[in-house]
Amino acid sequence: MKPISKIHSDEAIILEIRLGGIHGELAKTNLFRQYAYFVRKRPAKYGLTEEDALDAYTDAYLAVIDHIKSGRFRGESSIKTYLSRIFRNKCVDKARRNATMKVDWVEEFPDLRDESRNFLQTIISREELKGVRKKLALLNEKCREMLLMSAEGYSPLEIAQKLNLATARSASSQRYKCLEKLKKMMK
Amino acid sequence: MTELIDKYLKGELSEEERVAFEKRVEEDPYFRGEVKGQIKAEYAIRTKAKKVKKQALKAEYARLVAETDELRRIQPLYRRSSFLIVAAAAVVLLIVAVRLWGNSPKMNADELFAAYIQPVPLSFSRSESDTAMLSLATAYQGASYAQAISAAERLLKDSAYASSAQLWLSLAISQLMTDQPQAALRSLKQIEPGSAYEEQALWYEALALLKVDPALARGKLAEIADSGHYMQKKAGEMLERMEEE
């Protein structure tokens, strides 16, 4: 697979992703496709299959989207360089995981401070988190959709628009109510 | 309490608040239970959301691979990457070059158009709920350009999309592919200067002009060939091949 000719400037991609909506979605898809050739040009030294490399690429891409939205990506390098660096790190992680089969659960909480990571690992083990996903099925559909949208990085305003809620504030408060419900089910 | 734990998990507490939070978790069994419950809930949601998203991205990758393979299949010989094909092409080119030394083959405007027109791959949102966009994507990517025109025109009537450069570009290309260069020129004029698709618009404008007014097309191609445009090389090549008026 060859690189696709560049059809969006970095500035346009960043702006559209931050603005969200249909154009944001298009920009995200274009970004994913633009650098998907990384998968085939993966670093050979880690011995990853195409499937593993695709897994690493999707992880890297999702991290970049998250960093663009949160402002953590400050445009000091091009998106291509930034994505390529994260992709390389994810390939290393993937190779390590393949060797040890261990995944640290706190990886799902990338915003946690380092001190908190160590602390939380002392109060909750990986085993305790097994099977928790099944409990999502017990939630009503609206709550499930709202929580999933929030986890996918949609802003309260976007959630309000998609779920026909009056304001971003009501989306936030309903999200907390849904989270409360799910939390009770986890006890 | 849910909001406080949420802020902690998002790293939004101050250093003092974080220390107090963790102290409370150690000392208060009820609070610890709340934190553990919320972590389990968040973990369940985040891993589920990630799984769904990754499945969609992997499907997008599979589509991209299929499209690329398809493009490679219909690409002109000189753009294929296989070593043997490149080597064979080099030999053929060498023979042709020797025979046509100093006499590059000329083409008229219609022949040039046919030789260089190729729709740019565009990706559209494929959200199941966005049926209008989905039908445009399916028609455009499946080369059903008449259907793509009506789908794009329908979308552009919606004020939310009326200024979408990507939609105007897909409409213009579909019009060119169905031999409607005048309509394509009108669509391309809707793409604002400075848009992310400005370069594509200029390239397709030059191609449309080949059908309408070759002298103007020559001017546009010269503009592209003199700039850092992504089709600069191709435009130069076309100018060399273009017959004198």
Domain boundaries, chain B: 2-69, 109-241
Q: What H or E segment, with its residue span, contains residue B152?
A: helix B145-157
Structure confidence at residue B185 (pLDDT): 92
Residue A131 has pLDDT above 90, yes or no: no
Q: How far is B162 from chain A (nearest CA, A)?
A: 12
Same domain, A85 and A164: no
Structure confidence at residue B208 (pLDDT): 93
The answer to whether the CB of A33 falls within 8 A of the CB of B62 is no
- Average pLDDT on A75-102 reads 84
- Average pLDDT on A121-140 reads 84
Same domain, A96 and A174: no
Residue A101 banded pLDDT, cuts 50, 70, 90: low
Report how far residue B151's alpha carbon sits from residue B144's, in angstroms, rounded to the nearest whole number.
11
- Average pLDDT on A169-183 reads 89
Residue B181 banded pLDDT, cuts 50, 70, 90: very high
ipTM value greater than 0.85: no
Residue B102 has pLDDT above 60, yes or no: no
Same domain, A89 and A28: yes
Structure confidence at residue A64 (pLDDT): 93
User: Which range, of A61-70, A76-85, A123-132, B120-129, averages the lowest pLDDT?
Assistant: B120-129
- Average pLDDT on B124-144 reads 73
User: Which range, of A135-144, B104-113, B172-181, averages the lowest pLDDT?
Assistant: B104-113
Helix A21-34 vs helix B29-74: crossing angle, to nearest 10: 70
Task: Give the tens place of pLDDT for each residue, B167-177.
Answer: 899 999 999 98
Encoded tokens for A178: 């849904």
Contacting residues of A for B22, CB less than 8 Å apart:
116, 119
Better pLDDT: B48 or A44: B48
- Note whether residue A123 is domain-resident: no
- Average pLDDT on B98-125 reads 76
Same domain, A96 and A155: no
Report how far residue B31's alpha carbon sits from residue B7's, in angstroms, rounded to the nearest whole number.
15
Structure confidence at residue B72 (pLDDT): 58
- Average pLDDT on B146-163 reads 85
- Average pLDDT on B75-98 reads 69
Structure confidence at residue B77 (pLDDT): 55
Residue where a domain stops, chosen among A82, A101, A120: A101
The answer to whether the CB of B170 falls within 8 A of the CB of B136 is yes
- Average pLDDT on B26-55 reads 89
Residue B19 has pLDDT above 60, yes or no: yes
Residue B80 has pLDDT above 60, yes or no: no
Structural domain count, chain A:
2
Residue where a domain stops, chosen among A101, A117, A152: A101
Class of domain B109-241: mainly alpha
Same domain, A84 and A154: no
Structure confidence at residue B81 (pLDDT): 61
Helix B29-74 vs helix B15-27: crossing angle, to nearest 10: 120
Is there a contact between A186 and B61 if contact means CB atoms under 8 Å apart? no
Identify which of B49, B54, B133 has the shortest CB distance to residue A151: B49
Same domain, A80 and A161: no
**Residue A148 to residues A40, A179, B41, B43, B64, Cα–Cα distance (Å):** 31, 11, 11, 11, 26
C-alpha closest to that of A112 among B3, B13, B25, B30: B13
Is there a contact between A112 and B9 if contact means CB atoms under 8 Å apart? yes
Residue A48 has pLDDT above 70, yes or no: yes
Structure confidence at residue B79 (pLDDT): 57
Same domain, A145 and A68: no
Quote the distance between the C-alpha of residue A50 and its chain's center: 20
Contacting residues of A for B163, CB less than 8 Å apart:
none
Encoded tokens for A161: 């628009």
- The range of the structural domain enclosing residue A168 comes to 131-186
CATH of the domain at A154: 1.10.10
E strand segments, B52-152? none
Structure confidence at residue A97 (pLDDT): 74
- Note whether residue A159 is domain-resident: yes
Q: Please give the mean pLDDT across all residues of chain B.
A: 83
- Note whether residue A148 is domain-resident: yes
- Residue window 110-139, chain A: list those with CB within 8 Å of chain B: 111-113, 115-116, 119-120, 123-124, 128-129, 132-133, 135-136
Q: Please give the mean pLDDT across all residues of chain A.
A: 84
Q: Which of B123, B127, B170, B173 to mutate to test the interface with A (most CBs of A within 10 A)?
A: B123
- Note whether residue A24 is domain-resident: yes
Same domain, A91 and A141: no
Structure confidence at residue B221 (pLDDT): 92
- Note whether residue A125 is domain-resident: no
Give percent above pLDDT 70 in chain B: 85
Q: Which of A29, A32, A176, A183 to mutate to test the interface with B (most CBs of B within 10 A)?
A: A183
- Average pLDDT on B100-110 reads 71
Task: Give the tens place of pLDDT for each residue, A62-74.
Answer: 999 989 988 888 8
Better pLDDT: B70 or B184: B184
Is there a contact between B6 and A176 if contact means CB atoms under 8 Å apart? yes
